Structure 1
Amino acid sequence: MLPRLTPELCGGLREAFDRAGYHVDGVPALLGDAAHAALGRDEPTPARLASRDGGALGALIRLFLLGDAEAEPALAEALAPVTVPDAVAAGLLRPSGSGLAAALDVRPHGDEHGSWWVVSDTDLARMRGRPEPLTGDHVLGVGQASLSLAAATVRRPAGRLLDLGTGCGVQALHAAAYADQLVATDVNPRALALAGATFALSGVDVDLRGGSWLEPVAGERFDQIVSNPPFVAGPARVRHTYRDSGLAGDDVAARLVGTLPELLNEGGVAQLLACWLHVRGEDWPDRVVSWLPADTPLDAWFAQREVVDPAHYVGTWLRDSGLEPGSDAARREAEEWLAWFDAERVEGVGFGFITLRRTGGTPMILCEDLRDAPLGPHGTLGTETAAWLDRVAWLREHPGPALLDARLVLAPNVLLERHSAAGPDGWAPVHQVVRRMDGPGWSHEVDELAAALLAGCQGALTLGELLGLLGAAHGRPAGELVAATLPAVHELVRHGLLTPAEWKRA
């Protein structure tokens, strides 16, 4: 039976939560840093102890975050004006021993732009060390995948935004701060019910629609699309709607990359999490680039963050679904899954982010391995993605020799690193690199002439003027320097080591 958290009941819950302080600031304030950090590691005891004298807030923490049963009088006080019978009838609470326990997970969530509550199915058995297999229509809460996508998303004003496969509604919540109109879809009726409760409880207006893939928004256009789809790679099946698409291998990513652009306005951006197969004898960049539609000019950035072998991959997702690796059910599923990978010559599974922008100009397509990139704090990749799109657009406006007329500035966070090796006459230079000390930490090897050019990029002279001075100083023909330098400068701008001087002034 689907939960029935009506807008009226959600309004009452919001009143109760606000009164008790059950929000992103109130919970850590009551628990303290150590107990709150322990809760994040699925260690409930410190939080249970810290909440004992917390009144209504303590009761709500134990109910929803720890999975404890609470006495009815305490819950009546904590949830008012929502009554306990109404909460039970709505599917929010269930009888447990002499008290009541949460039938749904309801927890605070927020970022620097807002604070909300997310409603999802409970998965507290893991915290007790007794994981249980998840139901097929289980709706995940705020997990690492949804947090990763939220951190990678470009956050700029948008007219219409689509959250495709919304689940419990996390991406739409984050988008509410900058999008004028929100549309969210899902094929799972339970996800739609819980996402509707998330939006009603959080006071966010979302056009929520049910249906498969792009059917609910056929013929429409959007300025931005975000999607955390059921991207798990494997045999064509659906055992858990939150992870299984019903398509084999990485066909879900191929389908979305091939079809999402038709929903974008010109200049619109689509971002999604995805997995792709590393197939024996095939380069992964060739595989993912082949998914791009031939008739739609797109900037495309495939950023690979992780690659795991098939056995590791299967074991991770079996545990994620609540199966113990040594159980008969896990053994059967693992054997089927690994046999499929072997038949398809799969050597590994890559995971990362895909960014697509519909453009009317010459497209930029890039595949990068960012497994070792130090992306830093929450939101860094989203900021970097937005800057990457800006840099790509600027380079499109300054093709080839037009770069010679540009004034460029070396980014302030770029350092020159010199590497030397010991030899018979002491230390001898081996190579030198320039490296960004923020974002993905991009680096490029440079020679002495290139290092001198970068040091001269102060915004006063054009690139052509700088090359002329360097050519005269080093006895190098200007044409030779230009031919050698322009491709390198293009890459340095794309990676943000050099930026247009007018951006600094702005």
Structure 2
Amino acid sequence: MTDFATIPDAPRSDNPATMQALAADLSAINYTVDGVAELLGADANQALGRDQTVPAALVLRGNTDPLSTVVRFWLLAETVSAKELGQAAPRTGVDALVAMGVAEIECDAADQPGDTRAQDRDVMVRAAVDLRPYGWPAANEDEQDTNLWVASDLGAHQRPGVLRKDHVLGIGQASLTLAQATIRKVVGRALDLGTGCGIQLFHLLHHASTVVATDISVRALAFTRFNLMLNASALGLTDADFEPENPHARVSLRLGSLLEPVVGERFDLVVSNPPFVITPRCRGEQAREQFTYRDGGMAGDAIVETLVRELPSVLAPGGLAQMLGNWEVTEGGTDDAGPSPEWAARPRQWVQDGVQAWFIQREQVSPGGYAETWLQDASQGRDQDAYANAYEDYLLDFASRNVAGIGFGYILLRRPESQPQQPGAFSTSTRFEEILYPIEQPVGPHLVTTLEREQWLKRHENILFEYLTVAQDVTEERHQKPGAEHPGVILLRQGAGLRRTNLLSTELAGFVSASDGELTVGQLIGALAALLERDDAEFSDGLCADVRNLVRDGFLIPA
């Protein structure tokens, strides 16, 4: 099994001493998320987060302090002198940075690199990779903030031309979205499917005993190993964890497509930011010409369908899989399984029997808008003829499948705790929500509490004898026309988590208002039935179902 330490055109990680020296240099100059933000100021730092380098370049113009040099070099991709870079990384040295593949010397024709130490020569040096700080705050007062560094390929805003086909993506919005949505419970074995440069893997190592990380790109795994080695101390890794044949290593890097590298294995948690982008075959294009970081190589949304169908096969009992994905919304599509939104018609077909599934659509765009987003992503607009041809290919491809829109969002899959005694014995649920507005981040803790409330409801099929109270973040709004005796609209809103809004009927609003933990659900329903003169079973059963939904969504909680 390869250890991915010396892959061509990727940073080398076969010299632990040099990696430790680089980590020490970066720590010494406070090359952290907070350190860079303080150096640049709020406006320039926020612009850099949008891949706009001009404000930061203006702030740092003429500044040769070590931290400024490193920011200009690896974040802004500016050429700096070997002397400046050597002063910023004295323990590592410029020659070592070049040898490990994170820096390149700009040479004149008469200049022969390697004749003397680069730092002693009057040469300029440019970044070979993007190397940036990454981290997250401590979960509690007993822990420290996590500060890491992540190497990836230079982006389109840092280098000219279209990205290379085996481009290794850095810290993108999708990877951050998945990291914020992942449920951070302590688990035994975890899988990062499609690890890229290793963002999800870093998070998993903080709450999983062992992690398997897979990717179809050998360069991606080389970047991941480099990042693991560079951050070994912060991630709690030892030299033994980097031995590919060590069966007790906390990390295992594996090359392969989809679930091929882990067939027959089981995991407590699977996370995946797969190459879910729906990309048509361009004229004359071969599969190897696609961008491996985003294009799954299958028609339409087939790669997301494949994962939704197959991921439960590698889940341990009670295990969770969380991923991001795109799905096609076809013109006139219908969901025959129930009162679900139109966009859920295709995803519902992918969910296997006995699997709990939860889809949250965060965005839906038109075919044209989708094409423009991903053509711009790889800087393909720099060749106008190629851009026009590719745009047309997108539209024709979507039209061939009658696609009216493309949805994006979270997918959560859960395997039940135990095997059913008979086919169909499991009471599983498939849920589809569309939440297009901003939600609280990280949202992972709120997703897990929803799952816990669902389990509570399964254990309490009859909630008539339970006591409920209103969650602390919930508020009520009442709207009525001037002069009206009663409100025409009553809304219940959440201030935290998924920040849902629920339209209440008069009787449900009355139930919520009286839910202070003093009376049981059955007593409150009985009192409302008497007040409204509704002693029929339809009233009580319907109100009870509505109450269960409010518990599931966190508006009401067990007292």
TM-score for both structures, normalised by structure 2: 0.83
**Structure 1 residue 476: Cα displacement:** 2.8
Q: Take 1:60 and 1:38, find their aligned partners in 2: how far apart are those partners?
A: 18
Matched residue, 1:412: 472
Percentage of pairs with the same residue: 39
**Structure 1 residue 132: Cα displacement:** 2.0
For residues 100-152 of structure 1, give each alpha carbon's deviation from its aligned partner in whole angstroms, at most 9, with x where no partner exists: 011011100011142211110001x425xx75211110001001111111111
Q: Take 1:145 and 1:307, find their aligned partners in 2: how far apart are those partners?
A: 15
Matched residue, 2:548: 490
Matched residue, 2:117: none
Is the aligned partner of 1:397 residue 2:462? Answer: no
2:313 to 257, 262, 269: 262
Is the aligned partner of 1:42 residue 2:41? Answer: no
Matched residue, 1:142: 171
For residues 425-456 of structure 1, give each alpha carbon's deviation from its aligned partner in whole angstroms, at most 9, with x where no partner exists: 55763221222222222222223322121122
Q: Do the aligned residues in 1 keep the contact of 2:329 with 2:406 (CA within 8 Å)? A: yes
Q: Take 2:135 and 2:539, find their aligned partners in 1: how far apart are those partners?
A: 51
Q: Take 1:76 and 1:432, find their aligned partners in 2: how far apart are those partners?
A: 65
1:323 to 364, 375, 380: 380
Matched residue, 2:268: 223
Q: Do the aligned residues in 2 keep the contact of 1:63 with 1:102 (CA within 8 Å)? A: yes
Structure 1 gap ranges (5+): 502-506
Are the structure 2 counterparts of residues 344 and 329 from structure 1 closer, same or farther at C-alpha, using a change threshold of 3 Å? same
Are the structure 2 counterparts of residues 468 and 428 from structure 1 closer, same or farther at C-alpha, using a change threshold of 3 Å? closer
Matched residue, 1:31: 40
Are the structure 2 counterparts of residues 182 and 49 from structure 1 closer, same or farther at C-alpha, using a change threshold of 3 Å? same
Matched residue, 1:464: 522
Q: Take 1:347 and 1:479, find their aligned partners in 2: how far apart are those partners?
A: 43
- Using the TM superposition, name which of 24-33 and 256-265 deviates more: 24-33
For residues 176-203 of structure 1, give each alpha carbon's deviation from its aligned partner in whole angstroms, at most 9, with x where no partner exists: 2212212111010110000111111111
Q: Do the aligned residues in 1 keep the contact of 2:63 with 2:69 (CA within 8 Å)? A: no
For residues 51-90 of structure 1, give each alpha carbon's deviation from its aligned partner in whole angstroms, at most 9, with x where no partner exists: 4446211111111011111111121222232232222122
**Structure 1 residue 473: Cα displacement:** 3.5
Matched residue, 1:504: none
Q: Say which SS state the counterpart of residue 80 (structure 2) adopts.
A: coil
Matched residue, 2:300: 249
For residues 283-321 of structure 1, give each alpha carbon's deviation from its aligned partner in whole angstroms, at most 9, with x where no partner exists: 321210110123xx2221100011111111011101101
Q: Say which SS state the counterpart of residue 256 (structure 1) adopts.
A: helix
Query: Which consecutive segments of 4 or more residues in structure 1 shift more than 6 A?
Result: none
Q: Which one-letter code corresponds to 1:439 in the other structure?
A: G
**Structure 1 residue 480: Cα displacement:** 4.3
Matched residue, 1:2: 9
Going by fraction, where is strand more abundant, 1 or 2?
Answer: 1
Q: Do the aligned residues in 2 keep the contact of 1:305 with 1:350 (CA within 8 Å)? A: yes
Matched residue, 1:199: 228
Alignment of 1:295-314 (within 5 A): 297-314=354-371
**Structure 1 residue 40: Cα displacement:** 2.2
Q: Do the aligned residues in 1 keep the contact of 2:64 with 2:84 (CA within 8 Å)? A: no
Q: Take 1:21 and 1:53, find their aligned partners in 2: how far apart are those partners?
A: 16
Q: Take 1:267 and 1:456, find their aligned partners in 2: how far apart are those partners?
A: 36
Alignment of 1:53-452 (within 5 A): 53=63, 55-96=65-106, 98-113=123-138, 114-123=146-155, 125-126=156-157, 132-203=161-232, 204=235, 205=237, 206-235=251-280, 237=287, 239-282=290-333, 283-294=342-353, 297-324=354-381, 327-359=384-416, 360=418, 361-371=426-436, 373-376=437-440, 378-379=441-442, 381-399=443-461, 402-422=462-482, 429-452=487-510
Q: Which one-letter code corresponds to 1:309 in the other structure?
A: S
Q: Do the aligned residues in 2 keep the contact of 1:468 with 1:478 (CA within 8 Å)? A: no
**Structure 1 residue 24: Cα displacement:** 2.1
- Using the TM superposition, name which of 153-162 and 438-447 deviates more: 438-447
Q: Which one-letter code corresponds to 2:157 in the other structure?
A: R
Q: Which one-letter code corresponds to 1:16 in the other structure?
A: D
Q: Do the aligned residues in 1 keep the contact of 2:363 with 2:409 (CA within 8 Å)? A: yes
Q: Say which SS state the counterpart of residue 156 (structure 1) adopts.
A: coil
Q: Say which SS state the counterpart of residue 491 (structure 1) adopts.
A: helix
Q: Which one-letter code corresponds to 1:451 in the other structure?
A: A
Q: Say which SS state the counterpart of residue 421 (structure 1) adopts.
A: coil
Q: Take 1:409 and 1:429, find their aligned partners in 2: how far apart are those partners?
A: 23
Q: Do the aligned residues in 2 keep the contact of 1:164 with 1:186 (CA within 8 Å)? A: yes
Are the structure 2 counterparts of residues 466 and 120 from structure 1 closer, same or farther at C-alpha, using a change threshold of 3 Å? same
Q: Which one-letter code corresponds to 1:2 in the other structure?
A: D
- Using the TM superposition, name which of 53-62 and 388-397 deviates more: 53-62
Q: Take 2:75 and 2:486, find their aligned partners in 1: how far apart are those partners?
A: 59
Q: Say which SS state the counterpart of residue 403 (structure 1) adopts.
A: coil
Q: Do the aligned residues in 2 keep the contact of 1:233 with 1:249 (CA within 8 Å)? A: yes
